[in-house]
Structure 1
Amino acid sequence: MTSELPISLILLIVTLIIAVVTVLYVAIAERQRRETFQRVSPDLEASRLAERLLLNEDATASSRLAAWLRERMPEGFLADTSYAGKLVHAGFDGSAAPVIFAALRIVSALLVPVLAFVAAPRDNPTWLAIAVVMGLVAGVAGPQAVLDRLATNRQDRIRRAVPDALDLLVVCVEAGVSLDAAIIRVARDLSNVRPELALEFAQVVRRVNAGMPRERALQGLAARTGVDELRTLVSSMVQTERLGTSIARVLRVNAESLRLRRRQKAEKRAAEAALKMIFPLALFLLPALLAVIVGPAAITVARELGNLAN
């Protein structure tokens, strides 16, 4: 009976994982289908799309869940704000995000070691202890590692979208459009291609319309994304607004410098590829080549030495 219990639990866990993956796949596919329909639909007006970008919709379900968790969680986890910046960089800037992430940390720290204990072999205490310790480490460090990865990926997507957005801003500003209207136009045009940067631009305009100074709104853009290119761009735009110089020239210069920096980074990675290939070649390819080339000769020499000794 005891031997059948872990197998049934493992089957239950695998079934739950398959169900969760299926639900996520269906949700992602439905979102992509909806975005494709919005992109090709002729009935989608520009005003509706701009309104959708500028609205800060509050997820009522997540807010209720956060309120329920806030009443039942320890104060120490809620007081820890060291990961709040990473949550914003990853795109989770709602008020419910820190509470939900703290709850996920607790669940992961408790559930992963239990799953490791259930899945580990019971006849070997050493492997059982190793599995529990590894599960504990993964449960504690896993959520933070996933959050760091999500933040890094989002920052990379925003970083790749900045030069294109600057080109659109230059075109709009040189056509005589105000900066706020140009940012709205760029956010609308990039909503399907670069949704992260489009939503951040929409946040800037929404805050300016709410009465926040444009300087603070732009600085908030750099703080929310954590992208160095945007921080440099915001500094240039703020300085330009203070001095009254041409904003189009600043945007064009920043776009060219960002493309040059991206090209230099690609060249740097290409130059480092040869150096990084040395270690895999030395560890895996060269021993095999030596065995193929020197092996027959070594066997022949050993055979001849054996004949001479006889």
Structure 2
Amino acid sequence: MAEIPLTLIFLVLTVIVAVSTMVYVAIAERERKETLQRVSPDLEASRLAERLLLNEDATASSRLASWLRDRMPESFVSDTSNVHKLVHAGFDGAAAPVIFSAVRIASALLMPVLSFVAAPRDNPVWLAVSVVMGLVVGVAGPQAVLDRLAAQRQERIRRSVPDALDLLVVCVEAGVSLDAAILRVARDLSNVRPELALEFAQVVRRVNAGMPRDRALLSLSQRTGVDELRTLVASMIQTERLGTSIARVLRVNSESLRLRRRQKAEKRAAEAALKMIFPLALFLLPALLAVILGPAAITVIGQLGSLSQ
């Protein structure tokens, strides 16, 4: 048995220590942030305002995007097919499309090279399969990750809409204007629902900048891509045009959203029994048959063997 080189052991130990240190620092930083939020609840709201008022020209991502825009092909720079998906995933900056295009190019080039380096050299078939798989992962991987991030963010926003509507109803019924109520809800939800709080703050920011309220609300549904918010925005715009009670509309929408979420949960619970049939038939039933019928089969085979002798 060949001895393991000391250099390899030292490298593995170094990597383990580095990863453990990073995990410890991340956990400690998370605990520190939670402590600061409990001590000062308005801290997250101030960070939310800083993010909304931050000049994009001063951020590192904008400088990186400018550097990449000067060096990338024009076809990749002008590609706007994933702009809406990036906004749905939370990457709403002007630098996001350029950086995502650069990530796609780097992934398509690096993954086949890494697969070629890691694949065994003595087997040409496995080498070719590894390179092809690396190429497929490099080309389709960034888009799949982006779709996954967008779906997760939309699901988080969808779950937080009923709570936000309840807070809006309370604020509006207390006599607060709709813009002030949206801003208040954004501040209150900044700790627990940061995605929806940021979108509400964007609506208030655009209204204060002079954009009509209906257009600002429409941008809310377009930026999130959530059907529940699209229905809510349509109801709010129609209510504002007709002059009806906004609190009643918000309350009806909140109740309908909770009913729809309850029905969706009941549907999933009803489908669970059907989905469990195939795993039970493939994995559990053979093991039960082996445990129950195994001793009897061994006994029968032994008896048949003694009778034949």
Q: Distance in 1 between matches of 2:226 and 2:182?
A: 18
- 1:51–1:101: structure 2 CA closer, same or farther, 3 Å change rule? closer
Q: Secondary structure at the match of 2:70?
A: helix
Q: CA deviation at 1:138?
A: 0.8
Q: Distance in 2 between matches of 1:29 and 1:127?
A: 44
Identity over aligned pairs, percent? 79
Q: Which residue pairs with 1:33 in the alignment?
A: 32
Q: Which residue pairs with 1:64 in the alignment?
A: 63
Paired residues of 1:53 and 1:199 also in contact (CA < 8 A): no
Q: What letter corresponds to residue 264 of structure 2 in structure 1?
A: K
Paired residues of 2:240 and 2:246 also in contact (CA < 8 A): yes
Q: Which residue pairs with 2:299 in the alignment?
A: 300
Q: CA deviation at 1:61?
A: 1.0
What TM-score, normalized to structure 2?
Answer: 0.87
The reply on whether 1:261 has 2:260 as its aligned counterpart is yes
What TM-score, normalized to structure 1?
Answer: 0.87
Q: Which residue pairs with 1:4 in the alignment?
A: none
The worse-fitting range, judged by mean Cα deviation, of 21-30 and 114-123 is 21-30
Q: What letter corresponds to residue 222 of structure 1 in structure 2?
A: S
CA RMSD of aligned residues (A): 2.8
The worse-fitting range, judged by mean Cα deviation, of 20-29 and 233-242 is 20-29
Q: Which runs of 4+ in 1 moved over 6 A?
A: 17-22
Q: Distance in 2 between matches of 1:105 and 1:22?
A: 30
Q: Distance in 2 between matches of 1:54 and 1:173?
A: 24
The reply on whether 1:77 has 2:64 as its aligned counterpart is no
Q: Distance in 2 between matches of 1:19 and 1:93?
A: 33
Q: CA deviation at 1:297?
A: 2.6
Of 49, 52, 55, the match for 2:53? 55
- 1:45–1:293: structure 2 CA closer, same or farther, 3 Å change rule? closer
Which is bigger in relative contact order (C-alpha 8 A, separation at least 6)?
1
Q: Distance in 2 between matches of 1:217 and 1:274?
A: 44
The reply on whether 1:195 has 2:202 as its aligned counterpart is no
Q: What letter corresponds to residue 109 of structure 2 in structure 1?
A: L
The worse-fitting range, judged by mean Cα deviation, of 75-84 and 215-224 is 75-84
Q: What letter corresponds to residue 290 of structure 1 in structure 2?
A: L
Q: Which residue pairs with 1:221 in the alignment?
A: 220
Paired residues of 2:44 and 2:190 also in contact (CA < 8 A): no
Paired residues of 1:90 and 1:152 also in contact (CA < 8 A): yes
- 1:230–1:213: structure 2 CA closer, same or farther, 3 Å change rule? same
Q: CA deviation at 1:129?
A: 1.4
Q: Distance in 1 between matches of 2:226 and 2:23?
A: 29
Q: CA deviation at 1:250?
A: 0.4
Paired residues of 1:222 and 1:231 also in contact (CA < 8 A): yes
Paired residues of 2:44 and 2:191 also in contact (CA < 8 A): no
Q: Which residue pairs with 1:287 in the alignment?
A: 286
Structure 1 segment 1-310 matched on structure 2, within 5 A: 26=25, 30=29, 33-34=32-33, 36-41=35-40, 44=42, 48=46, 51-52=49-50, 54-58=52-56, 60-310=59-309
Q: CA deviation at 1:113?
A: 1.4
- Provide structure 1 residue ranges, at least 5 long, that are not aligned to the other structure: 1-6
- Provide structure 2 residue ranges, at least 5 long, that are not aligned to the other structure: 1-6
Paired residues of 2:160 and 2:196 also in contact (CA < 8 A): yes
